[in-house]
């Protein structure tokens, strides 16, 4: 965790080293002296201990209340507190009587997935208090409540990406809003580059799993203090993409007769906004990645943390070049959005059929109760 420093002193480290929030067993307060060692390393000692401390380090007085304040600031700015997210959820709940069961995130060029929704009530992101705005072409920036195949749903026409300058926690914050609005399922979609040589432009990849490469570098949407009202500190990710929904998707794809254009594979998200080098793509392929994009992974981690059931698919908008003499054109966003538009009807049909099938399952389950 970064950002908790005063004059180069790591406040969190100091706090952790100095006991409980209310002072130590001897009644001393938690205001303490942090020492900045000459070599740049930081160490801390309690106020009382420090009276006898006679070394050369520079001493900085650290106020407990200030530490708490700074922590709150960082949590609100980057992670959004439970209360703030609840406020955003309440904004919707007070303005619509629709209580969605499924949340849909429309990927680049896939805004039209929301065209299948009826009885809509739409909210522009710019009008929603404390909500970020979409800055990417192909992302409208609207939250749409309504009905799809008779199911109450909410769709995000536009998501937030790390490369737009939002921290990961903020990129995936809307997932928590949707959770507090009441959804049980998250259907995420994205545009991605096809790395598996079998994939063609316009194909669909049902996401079977992901590799959280940004997480390898220590960047996670769950970084920072954990609020157990959302979920546990250490959530498992072994069933990140619900196996029953993957099975259902296989069946739906067969019914649609598009099984030759649909695959199951592993997605990864890189920070972007640049597309990948040939060397990077070769490495990703060796790692087992089938499709590469710039979203979804942090949304799914956030969704699983708060116990949402997840389904996701990627539209393959370009083929990734894994050799320098490749005849593939350079990836570009115009093409990504264009392919999205040209495949909107097939993606829309897949989404509608999945939801129709799921609605039947839910009805059956409720009937049995």
Ligand X SMILES: O=P(O)(O)O[C@@H]1C[C@H](O)[C@@H](CO)O1
**Residues with active-site annotation:** 108, 139, 161, 163-164, 191, 294-295, 318, 333
Nearer to ligand GUN by C-beta: 109 or 167? 109
Nearer to ligand GUN by C-beta: 145 or 275? 275
From ligand X, ligand GUN, none, interface partner of 318 (C-beta below 5 to 8 A by class) = ligand GUN
Residue 346: name the closest of 248, 264, 253 by CA.
253
Nearer to ligand X by C-beta: 294 or 321? 294
From ligand X, ligand GUN, none, interface partner of 136 (C-beta below 5 to 8 A by class) = ligand X
Among 9, 30, 79, 317, binds ligand GUN (CB under 6 A): 317
* Distance between start and end Cα atoms, the chain: 46
CA–CA distance, 307 with 363 (Å, rounded to integer): 21
* Six token digits for residue 250: 């296989």
CA–CA distance, 2 with 4 (Å, rounded to integer): 6
Nearer to ligand X by C-beta: 181 or 347? 347
Q: Which residue is nearest to ligand X (CB)?
A: 107
Contact 241, 310 (CB under 8 A): yes
State the chain's maximal CA–CA distance in angstroms. 79
Angle at Cα 305 formed by Cα 355 and Cα 269, nearest 5°?
A: 75
Contact 56, 38 (CB under 8 A): yes
HSE-up of 308 (CA within 13 Å, CB side)? 29
138: contact with ligand GUN by CB under 6 A: no
Nearer to ligand GUN by C-beta: 82 or 166? 166
Nearer to ligand X by C-beta: 15 or 298? 298
202: contact with ligand GUN by CB under 6 A: no
Nearer to ligand X by C-beta: 174 or 231? 174
* Six token digits for residue 284: 């990703």
CA–CA distance, 86 with 83 (Å, rounded to integer): 5
**How many C-beta neighbours within 10 Å does residue 282 have?**
16
CA dist list (Å): 191 to 16, 110, 197: 43, 8, 17
From ligand X, ligand GUN, none, interface partner of 205 (C-beta below 5 to 8 A by class) = none
From ligand GUN, ligand X, none, interface partner of 159 (C-beta below 5 to 8 A by class) = ligand X
CA–CA distance, 290 with 209 (Å, rounded to integer): 10
* Per-residue x/- track, 276-315, ligand GUN (CB under 6 A): x---------------xxx---------------------
Query: 349 in helix, strand or coil?
Result: helix
Binding window for ligand GUN (CB under 6 A); candidates: 30-38, 42-50, 67-75, 188-196: 188-196
CA–CA distance, 104 with 106 (Å, rounded to integer): 6
Query: 166 in helix, strand or coil?
Result: coil
214: contact with ligand GUN by CB under 6 A: no
Among 6, 331, 359, 362, binds ligand GUN (CB under 6 A): 331
Residue 328 C-beta: closest distance to ligand GUN, Å? 10
From ligand GUN, ligand X, none, interface partner of 295 (C-beta below 5 to 8 A by class) = ligand X
**DSSP 8-state class, residue 158:** S
155: contact with ligand GUN by CB under 6 A: no
270: contact with ligand GUN by CB under 6 A: yes
340: contact with ligand GUN by CB under 6 A: no
Sign of the C-alpha dihedral, residues 12, 19, 230, 88? negative
Residue 351 C-beta: closest distance to ligand GUN, Å? 19
199: contact with ligand GUN by CB under 6 A: no
23: contact with ligand GUN by CB under 6 A: no
Bridging pattern class, strands 185-194 and 309-319: parallel
207: contact with ligand GUN by CB under 6 A: no
Residue numbers at the binding site for ligand GUN (CB under 6 A):
191-193, 270, 272, 275-276, 292-294, 317-318, 320, 331, 336
């Amino acid at each position: 965790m970064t950002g908790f420093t005063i004059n180069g002193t790591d406040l969190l480290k100091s706090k952790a080293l100095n006991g409980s929030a209310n002072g130590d067993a001897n009644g001393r307060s938690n205001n303490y002296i942090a020492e900045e060692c000459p070599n740049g390393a930081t160490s801390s000692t309690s106020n009382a201990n420090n009276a006898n401390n006679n070394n050369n380090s520079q001493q900085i007085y650290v106020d407990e209340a200030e530490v708490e304040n700074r922590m709150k600031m960082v949590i609100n700015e980057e992670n959004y507190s439970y209360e703030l997210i609840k406020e955003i959820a309440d904004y919707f709940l007070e303005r619509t009587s629709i209580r969605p069961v499924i949340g849909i995130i429309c990927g680049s060029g896939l805004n039209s997935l929301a065209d299948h929704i009826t009885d809509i009530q739409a909210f522009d992101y710019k009008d929603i208090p404390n909500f970020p705005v979409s800055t990417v072409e192909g992302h409208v920036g609207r939250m749409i409540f309504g009905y799809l195949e008779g199911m109450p749903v909410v769709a995000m026409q536009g998501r937030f990406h790390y490369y737009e300058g939002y921290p990961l926690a903020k990129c995936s914050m809307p997932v928590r809003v949707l959770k507090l609005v009441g959804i049980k399922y998250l259907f995420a979609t994205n545009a991605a580059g096809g790395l598996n040589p079998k994939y063609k432009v316009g194909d669909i990849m049902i996401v079977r799993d992901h590799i959280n490469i940004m997480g390898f570098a220590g960047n996670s949407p769950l970084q920072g203090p954990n609020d157990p009202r959302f979920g546990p500190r250490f959530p498992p990710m072994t069933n990140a993409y619900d196996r029953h929904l993957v099975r259902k998707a296989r069946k739906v794809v067969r019914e649609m007769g598009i099984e030759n254009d649909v695959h199951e594979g592993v997605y990864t998200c890189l920070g972007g906004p640049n597309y990948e080098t040939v060397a990077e793509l070769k490495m990703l392929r060796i790692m087992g990645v089938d499709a590469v994009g710039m979203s979804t992974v942090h949304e799914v981690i956030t969704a699983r943390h708060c116990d949402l059931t997840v389904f996701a698919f990627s539209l393959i908008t370009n083929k990734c070049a894994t050799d320098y003499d490749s005849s593939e054109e350079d990836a570009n966003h115009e093409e990504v959005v264009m392919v999205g538009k040209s495949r909107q009807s097939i993606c829309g049909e897949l989404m509608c059929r999945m939801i129709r099938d799921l609605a039947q399952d839910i009805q059956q389950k409720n009937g049995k109760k």
